[in-house]
């Protein structure tokens, strides 16, 4: 299968041929092997790979066997880069055994996660020999596998640093410092979006966004002056708007995206009919 992509500068990316399970595929030089597999619809289970963040190989589910100069070794496919002649196998008996133990561990770590149950079952694992970690007070509903994506997106992309790992060892959880509501949270919901096990919960109640998983941190929402919809966390809108021109800032502060779109369309129509009248 051919695959063509261009670099940010618009130049075609250098391409290499990699072999996955005995079949050859075209990839970009240094492309993440897991990305190639996903594109080519080759099943490799993975939890902690998020394209907007640098891969860091936390969940270990995406292990593959690499054949290098006649030697075989296991490595995480989310940190493996494509290079000419790279050969990998995704399902050796060793990988299957390793992956199954991981699934058992995740079934114990996140016993209420339907995502984990479904993934594990797809690979034939439906039970765990490890003690299930059920905590009725867990704000992540016993669904968190501690992959760290929510912490990283909050810190590295949003620059908020509102949540982090709390406690140590088997007691480690993700939450706000001291399990208290935090002012550092924008209420952007990026943590909800990146969580692979749907563990993070938030809810909009009137003019307030409640980050249920993060010590019930609350964030005020901006309201559209036209339709009345609460459409974005106020603090986030203000921080983004600081970079806009005063008129655009004013408009975005007042209108939700839908009403803004309607206003622009209305102006276009008026401008069009005005123009026709002038010519008529």
Chain residues binding ligand FES by CB under 6 A are 46-49, 57-62, 76, 78
Q: Is 200 in the site for ligand SF4 (CB under 6 A)?
A: yes
Q: Is 150 in the site for ligand SF4 (CB under 6 A)?
A: yes
Shortest distance, position 140 Cβ to ligand SF4, whole Å: 5
Backbone CA torsion sign across 57, 62, 63, 67? negative
In which element (H, E) is residue 271 found?
helix 257-279
Q: Is 185 in the site for ligand SF4 (CB under 6 A)?
A: no
CA nearest neighbour of 111 among 134, 127, 90, 129: 134
Window contacting ligand SF4 (CB under 6 A); options: 66-74, 145-153, 215-223, 259-267: 145-153
d(CA 94, CA 101): 11
Task: Choose, by CB under 6 A, the member of 197, 202, 233, 236 that binds ligand SF4.
Answer: 197
Written as six digits, the tokens of 6 are: 């261009």
Report the partner that residue 64 touches, choosing among ligand FES, ligand SF4, none (CB closer than 5 to 8 A by kind).
none
Task: Choose, by CB under 6 A, the member of 18, 27, 82, 149 that binds ligand SF4.
Answer: 149
Written as six digits, the tokens of 191 are: 């943590």
Q: Is 211 in the site for ligand SF4 (CB under 6 A)?
A: no
Q: How far is CA 164 from the centre of its chain?
A: 16
Nearer to ligand SF4, 44 or 211 (CB): 211
Phi-psi label, residue 191: left if phi above 0, alpha if psi -120 to 50, beta otherwise = alpha
Shortest distance, position 63 Cβ to ligand FES, whole Å: 8
Token pair 């670099």 in the structure block, residue: 7
């Amino acid at each position: 299968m051919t695959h063509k992509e261009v670099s940010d500068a618009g130049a075609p990316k250098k391409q290499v041929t990699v072999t996955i399970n005995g079949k050859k595929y075209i990839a970009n030089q240094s492309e993440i092997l897991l990305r190639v597999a996903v594109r080519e619809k080759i099943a490799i289970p993975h939890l902690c790979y998020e394209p907007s963040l640098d891969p860091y190989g936390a969940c270990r589910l995406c292990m593959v066997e690499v054949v290098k100069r006649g030697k075989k070794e296991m490595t995480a496919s989310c940190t493996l880069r494509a290079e000419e002649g790279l050969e990998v196998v995704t399902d050796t008996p060793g990988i299957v055994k390793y992956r199954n133990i991981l699934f058992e561990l995740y079934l114990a770590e996140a016993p209420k996660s339907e995502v984990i149950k479904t993934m594990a079952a797809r690979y034939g694992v439906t039970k765990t020999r490890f003690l299930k970690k059920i905590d009725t007070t867990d704000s992540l509903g016993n669904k968190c596998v501690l992959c760290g994506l929510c912490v990283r997106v909050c810190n590295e992309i949003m620059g908020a640093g509102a949540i982090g790992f709390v406690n140590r060892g088997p007691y480690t959880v993700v939450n706000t410092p001291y399990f208290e509501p935090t002012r550092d949270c924008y209420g952007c919901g990026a943590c909800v979006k990146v969580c692979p096990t749907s563990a993070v919960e938030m809810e909009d109640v009137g003019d307030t966004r409640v980050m249920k998983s993060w010590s019930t941190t609350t964030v005020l929402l901006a309201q559209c002056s036209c339709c009345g919809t609460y459409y974005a966390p106020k603090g986030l809108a203000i921080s983004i708007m600081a970079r806009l021109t005063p008129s655009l800032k004013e408009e975005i502060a007042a209108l939700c995206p839908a009403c803004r779109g309607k206003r622009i369309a209305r102006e276009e129509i008026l401008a069009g009919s005005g123009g026709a009248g002038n010519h008529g």
